[in-house]
Amino acid sequence: MHGIGGQPALPVILLDTDLPENAPADRRLTDSLYGGDDAYRLRQEMVLGIGGVRMLEALGLRVEKYHLNEGHSALLTLELLRSSRAAAAHGSNLQDAVAAVRRRCVFTTHTPVEAGHDKYPYPLAEAALSGLVSPDVLRTLGGPGHLNLTRLALALSGWVNGVAERHAQTSRSLFPGQEVHAVSNGVHACTWTAEPFRRLFDRGMPKWRHEPELLTRALNIPDADIEAAHADCRRALFDHVKALPGGAALDPGRPTLGFARRMTGYKRPGLLFSSIPRLRAIAREFPFQVVVSGKAHPHDEAGKQAIRQLQAWAAELAGSVPVVFVPDYRLQAARLLVAGTDVWLNTPEPPLEASGTSGMKAALNGVPSLSVLDGWWLEGCEEGVTGWAIGSRDEEDARGHAESLYRKLEQTVLPAWYGPRPKWCAVMKAAIAYNGSCFNSHRMLRRYASEAYWS
């Protein structure tokens, strides 16, 4: 089997409880993500953590290290304790068993706020986990007050990391005394590089698919080739937008700002639209257009309202700033957006952006970011070189960010797009060479392997 770009494909094993031999209530446990009440969610996480370990053992796989991504799978640590016969251990026996589990577990946290971590009342957890570990062991490891799956993972993992430098700092403040390393996220370069740029890289850097660090050589790509590849990507996006029901024709003579991600409050999808008159004024001097997309969590009513509000703003700006909302935000739409826009916009509320990856995907296609300095962009932003910052590192005020965004658009970003093309091409190439070569999954996995798995 081969994956994207001819690279080897790895099997993905899915857990499903919808089997005839299961009780009716259990068959529904894998129906929906984040569904149901606390009892339903806890049972889902038992399937993932405990069931996942048992499934791997049933398949005959010998696991050296378990890598827990977020606290959802943290119950696997209790299954490892149970299998080591430490279910009701005390004193030095428990300490030895915990140390053995810690040697086998690596934990990556993604959530920079305490409220975002799964917690369950101990009476519920003790009833559900009866026979796995004793109540005393559960309360010793799970944190005070409630069973906190993040604290459980921290207690039973020998190596812990956040997903960006700032996120690791935030996590250390959330969990004082906990050693939290930083491994900044990365995206799979070949997956997120659009076909026109793949062909371009193949010609000048034929091994880039396996060694993305070779993308530093993008600085040597002729401007005409960068422009041609991006023009193909723009055309693909514009054609997709035009084919939508009631689709609009985007103007190839205007720069396109792109914004696409999960619609939720801390992402602040409305920051760009804080002042409609200001946007109109900027567009009179430097015409531009905006393409937005995203989905809200089924239970996030505020996120759904944000999508409705974006469409209302689009109607209000009609005739001055074209704003197109692309529905059905999935992989295909995301690929078109990160490659076919001209500037990638990211406006999270600091410090809530643990990492963010959409700007990394855009950078692989020569699309620079205009972003708040949070998550990965604190490490990836070289002002005026790889893109531009909204506000300063320590600024967290929404009003200040909005003003900075408008000022940067009006005085820097849009004039640069309308200015001499060689200067704009230099920013596009630097985004690939400095951001694309670094913020990729090859670099990320090498760091996990050398620092977490083999240490």
Indicate whether 155 and 273 sit together in one domain.
Answer: no
Query: What's the confidence (pLDDT) of residue 188?
Result: 97
119 within domain boundaries: yes
Indicate whether 209 and 105 sit together in one domain.
Answer: no
446 within domain boundaries: no
Q: What angle do CA 359, 360, 362 make, to 5 degrees?
A: 60
47, 79 Cβ separation under 8 angstroms: no
259 within domain boundaries: yes
Cα pseudo-dihedral 94, 97, 101, 102, rounded to 10: 60
Indicate whether 344 and 313 sit together in one domain.
Answer: yes
Q: Which of 128, 150, 182 is the last residue of a domain?
A: 182
- The domain total for the chain is 2
209 within domain boundaries: yes
CATH number for the domain that contains residue 13? 3.40.50.2000
Query: What's the confidence (pLDDT) of residue 245?
Result: 86
Indicate whether 236 and 365 sit together in one domain.
Answer: yes
DSSP conformation letters of 110-129: ---SGGGS-EEEHHHHHHHT
DSSP conformation letters of 374-400: -TTHHHH--BTTTEEEES-TT---HHH
Indicate whether 257 and 326 sit together in one domain.
Answer: yes
Question: Digits of tens for pLDDT over the chain (455 positions)?
Answer: 555 556 667 788 889 999 999 999 999 999 887 677 899 999 999 999 999 999 999 999 999 999 999 999 999 999 999 987 765 666 778 889 999 999 999 999 988 776 678 899 999 999 999 888 889 999 999 999 999 999 999 999 999 999 999 999 999 999 999 999 999 999 999 999 999 999 999 999 999 999 999 999 999 999 999 999 999 999 999 999 999 988 789 999 999 999 998 888 889 999 999 999 999 999 999 999 999 999 988 878 888 999 999 999 999 999 999 999 999 899 999 999 999 999 999 999 998 899 999 999 999 999 999 999 999 999 999 999 999 999 988 777 888 999 999 999 999 999 999 999 999 999 999 999 999 999 999 999 999 999 999 97
Indicate whether 279 and 423 sit together in one domain.
Answer: yes
Indicate whether 153 and 269 sit together in one domain.
Answer: no
Indicate whether 295 and 208 sit together in one domain.
Answer: yes
451 within domain boundaries: no
Indicate whether 163 and 17 sit together in one domain.
Answer: yes
Output the pTM of the full model.
Answer: 0.93
Query: What's the confidence (pLDDT) of residue 300?
Result: 82
Query: What's the confidence (pLDDT) of residue 455?
Result: 76
Q: Give the count of beta carbons closer than 10 Å to the beta carbon of residue 32.
A: 11
Query: What's the confidence (pLDDT) of residue 237?
Result: 98
237 within domain boundaries: yes
- Whether the CA torsion 125, 126, 131, 134 is positive or negative: it is positive
Q: Which of 134, 149, 182 is the last residue of a domain?
A: 182
Indicate whether 275 and 417 sit together in one domain.
Answer: yes
Query: What's the confidence (pLDDT) of residue 255?
Result: 98
Indicate whether 332 and 420 sit together in one domain.
Answer: yes
60 within domain boundaries: yes
Q: Which of 160, 182, 204 is the last residue of a domain?
A: 182
452 within domain boundaries: no
Range of the domain at 56: 4-182
Token look-up 């005026």 returns 384
